[in-house]
Structure 1
Amino acid sequence: MNPPAPEGHTPGPWPPPPGLLGVTRSQDSESVGLGWSQRFCISDQLTGDANATGPQITVAVDAAPLKIKAYFNDTADLPCLFTNSQNLSMSELVVFWQNQEASVLYELYLGKEKPDNVNRKYMGRTSFDWENWTLRLHNIQIKDQGSYQCFIHHKKPKGMVLIYQMNSDLSVLANFSQPEIIEISNITENLCRNLTCSSIQGYPEPKKMSFWLKTENSTTVYDGVMQKSQDNVTELYNVSISLSVSLPAVTSNMTIICVLQTEPMKTELFSSPFYIDPKVPPFQPPDYTVWIATAIPLTLAIGIPLILRYISCRRKKQQQPGVSNERGESVFVLPADCHFVATSQSAAF
C-alpha cells in the first residue's frame, strides 16, 4: 500500500514516480533490527525541486510485516521501530498510524497530538508510548484484526519527507471457556445416557470437538458433528457436541472427557470428567401419570358412595319432626342407620 500524501505535500502525483526521485536501493539486514528490509536513498528532489542538492535521507521500509497477536477486549501494541539515528526532535516529525483501509488511528504532528484526522471508531482507544515508538490500541475487538502501517515524516522548510515506514499484521484471539458436559434429563427407551458438551465465547473458529470414552481396557474417540454459532456483534463463537451412550453396552466403569482443539494456538481444552457406573441405574424422574391414573378411580369409588349416603340422611332428617327439650333446643332424631346429629336453637313458647 502506498503511503498517504503527508500534510504540506504540494499538489501532484503521490508517491512521486521513481524517475523523479532518483532512488537507489540496497539490502540492509541491520537497518531496523527486524531482519530483511529495504533502504531507499531519497534526495531532496522529493519536494519536486529538480535543482536541490541537499543531503540524502535514508528511508527504511520493512518488507515483511510484523506479526502481532492480541486478545479480545485487551490491548494491542503496534510498534514503529524507528531508530532516529539523526536525533531528530519530535517537533520536526509527523508520526501517524493507519489501517488497511487508510483510516487514521493516531497522529502526532510536530510533537502534539492531532485528532482532526483520526477515524471516530478509534477515538479514545489509543495511547502513544514516546520512549518505544509504539501505539497501543485498547479494547481490541474481532473487527480490529488486519494490517496496520506507521509512517514518520520529517518536516523540512521545503516540505515533508518520508523517512520511515513499518507494516504490522494484527490477529485477534479469544479464549474459549472450559468445555462442560451436561446430561440431558430425559432417557430414551433403549436406556441411553444423553450428553452434551459446550464451550462459549472464543475466536477464531475451533478446529475440532470430540468425546473421549475411557474404560479400564480401552479409549474410544468420538468425533461428532460440532454445532457452532457466531454472535452478530462480538463475532465470538459458541460450539457444542452431543453424545448418546447405550447403557447395555457399558460393562465396566466409564470416564468421559470432552476435548476442544483450538486454532491457531493448536491447544486442547479439557472438560471435567463425567463418570458412568453400570451398577448404578441412571436417575429417572417419577412417573406421575401412573399415580394420577390410580388416584382418580379410587377417589371416585370412595367419594361417590359417601356423598350419596349424606344426601339420603339429610332427606330423612328433614322428614322427622323435632322434639323440644327443656332449653328450647329442637332435637332431630335420625334413623338408626345415619350417624349425623344436628341441633338448632328455637324460641321458647
Structure 2
Amino acid sequence: MAGLPAAPPALRRWPGLGLCLLLCLSSGYVLEKKVVQSKVGEEVILPCCHEVPSSELHRVYWQKNTTEVVLAYAEGRMISKHERYENRTKMDTRNLTLWISPVEILDNGTYQCVVQRKRSQNSVVVCDESVTLFVTADFSRPNITAEVSANSCESTEMVVRCSSHGGFPKPRMSGALNNISVVWNVSWVSESTFSPYNVTGSLWLNVTRDASITCSVEYNGFAKSSSLLLKKTNDCIVPTVPPPYNVITASSIIIIIFLLAVTLAARYLPRHVCSHCCKPQDSAEEGVKECKKSPVSSKVSSETSSV
C-alpha cells in the first residue's frame, strides 16, 4: 500500500504560524481587558498603550463607547473636547493618560485610546487600546425598622424593613437573623440606567425570643451593614382557667359539711360542758335542785368531822 505524499515544507509551516497568531491574538485580548475602578467625586487616571516622543508628529483621540469623543490632541495641542467633560478632563502629553476629576456616574463605561502617527501624507494607527471604568457611588448605611403586627404569649409577629439610598451600581441586599441567612423581598428604584439607586427590603418574622437582625447592601465590591435587636414583647396576660365542674362540686360539699359541723358543735357542746355546774343559762328548776344539794353535803361533812 502506497503512502500519502509528504506535504510541501511551506504548508508544513502554516500550523505553527496559525498557533503563533492565535497566541498573539489571545495575549493582545488579555492586555486590552483593562479595568479601573473609582468612586463618585474622586480623581481617576485611565492608561493609554503608547508613549510618544515629543519630536514625533501624532494625534491622540480619547473616546467613550466608540461614539463619543472625550478629547483630541494633535501635535501636543488639544483640538477638541466634549462639553460634558469641560473642566473635568485633561491628558498627559507624555504618556497620553486621561485624567477625569471629579468622577460622575455618567462616566461609567468603556474608553478607547487611539494614537495615530503621521507619515508623509497619511496617518497610521500605532495604538488602539480600551479600558473599562467602573464608577461606584456609596450607599447610605442601611436603616432597619420593625413593626409589630400581632402578639401572643408564644411569639411576636413583626414586619422588618431595611432601606438604603443614593448608591451605584444596582446593589444586592442580604441579611441574617442570629447569624442564619434570610432572604429579603427587595425592590429597587432608579430614574435611569446611570442614576443613583434606592433599595428597600421587607421581611416577615415570627419572633419567639430576642433576636438580632442584620441587613447588608453590597455593590461593586463594597458593602454597608446595619443591625437591630428585635425584642419579644413581655406584656402577655395569661387568661384565668376556671376549675373543672367536679372540683367545684367536691368543694361545695366539703364547705356544707364543715358549716353543719360548726352549727351542731355550737348548739350541743355548751350544754354538755355545763351540765355539772350551776349556770345562769340553766333552767330555774335544775338550778334550785343543784343549789339545795350543796349546803346539805356541806352540813353532813361538818357533823362527821365533829364526831
| One-letter identity of the residue aligned with 2:145 | I
Following the alignment from structure 2 to structure 1, what is the Cα–Cα distance between the partners of residues 33 and 181?
Answer: 40
Equivalent in the alignment of 1:181: 144
Pick which of 92-101 and 229-238 moved more.
229-238
RMSD: 3.2
Contact 1:179 1:271 in 2 (8 A): yes
Secondary structure class of the residue paired with 2:41: coil
Cα distance in 2, alignment partners of residues 27 and 148 from structure 1 = 26
Q: SS state of the match for residue 272, structure 1?
A: strand
Asked if structure 1 preserves the Cα contact closer than 8 Å seen for 2:46 and 2:99, the reply is yes
Q: Deviations for 1:156-183, whole angstroms, at most 9, x for unmatched residues?
A: 3323222222111222222222212123
2:217 is the alignment partner of 1:257: no
Q: What residue is the counterpart of 1:207 in the other structure? A: 172
Q: Which residue identity does 1:76 align to in structure 2?
A: V
1:99/1:149 contact within 8 Å kept: yes
1:138 aligned to 72, 81, 101, which one?
Answer: 101
List gaps (5 residues or longer) in structure 2. Answer: 1-19, 237-307
Q: Is the 8 A contact 1:174 1:203 kept in 2?
A: yes
* 1:234–1:227 CA distance, 2 compared to 1 (3 A): same
**What residue number does 2:33 align with?**
65
1:229 partnered with 2:189: yes
Q: Residue type matched to 1:201 in 2?
A: G
Amino acid corresponding to residue 196 of structure 2 in structure 1: L
Name structure 1 gaps, 5 residues minimum.
1-25, 39-61, 282-349
Q: 1:110 aligns with which of 72, 75, 80?
A: 75
Deviation at 1:153, TM superposition (A): 1.7
The change in CA–CA distance for 1:159 and 1:221 in structure 2 (over 3 A counts) is closer
Asked if the contact 2:161/2:202 (under 8 Å) is kept, the reply is yes
Structure 1 residue 105 displacement after superposition: 0.8
> Hey, which of these two has a bigger chunk of helix by percent?
2
* Counterpart Cα distance in 2 of 1:130 and 1:179: 44
Give 2:157's aligned residue.
Answer: 192
Structure with the bigger RCO (C-alpha within 8 Å, sep 6+) is 2
Please state whether the residue corresponding to 2:70 is helix, strand or coil. Answer: strand
CA contact (8 A) 2:140 2:166 kept: yes
Match of 1:238 in 2: 198
**Equivalent residue for 1:321?**
none
Q: Is the 8 A contact 2:111 2:132 kept in 1?
A: yes
State the TM-score, normalized to the length of structure 2: 0.58
Query: Match of 2:149, SS?
Result: coil
Report the equivalent of 1:99: 64
State the Cα distance separating 1:70 from its structure 2 match. 2.2
Q: What SS does the corresponding residue of 1:226 show, helix, strand or coil? A: strand
1:29: Cα distance to partner?
9.4
2:55 is the alignment partner of 1:89:
yes
TM-score (norm 1): 0.52
- Cα pair 1:73 1:138 within 8 Å, conserved: yes
Counterpart in the other structure of 1:325: none
Q: Percent identical across equivalent pairs?
A: 23
Q: Could you say which residue in structure 2 is the equivalent of 1:79? A: 47
Letter in 2 for 1:213: L
Residue 112 of structure 2 is matched in structure 1 by 149
Residues 74-123 of structure 1, C-alpha deviations (whole Å, 9 max, x = no match): 33322113144xx4526x221121122422111111111112xx332233
In 2, distance between residues paired with 1:163 and 1:110? 15
Q: For residue 263 of structure 2, what is the aligned residue in structure 1? A: none
Report the residue type matching 2:177 in the other structure: L
Between the aligned partners of 2:235 and 2:139, the Cα distance in structure 1 is 34
Contact 1:71 1:140 in 2 (8 A): yes
Q: Which amino acid aligns with 2:42?
A: D
Contact residue 115 and residue 125 of structure 2 kept, 8 A: yes
Return the match for 1:159 from 122, 125, 140. 122
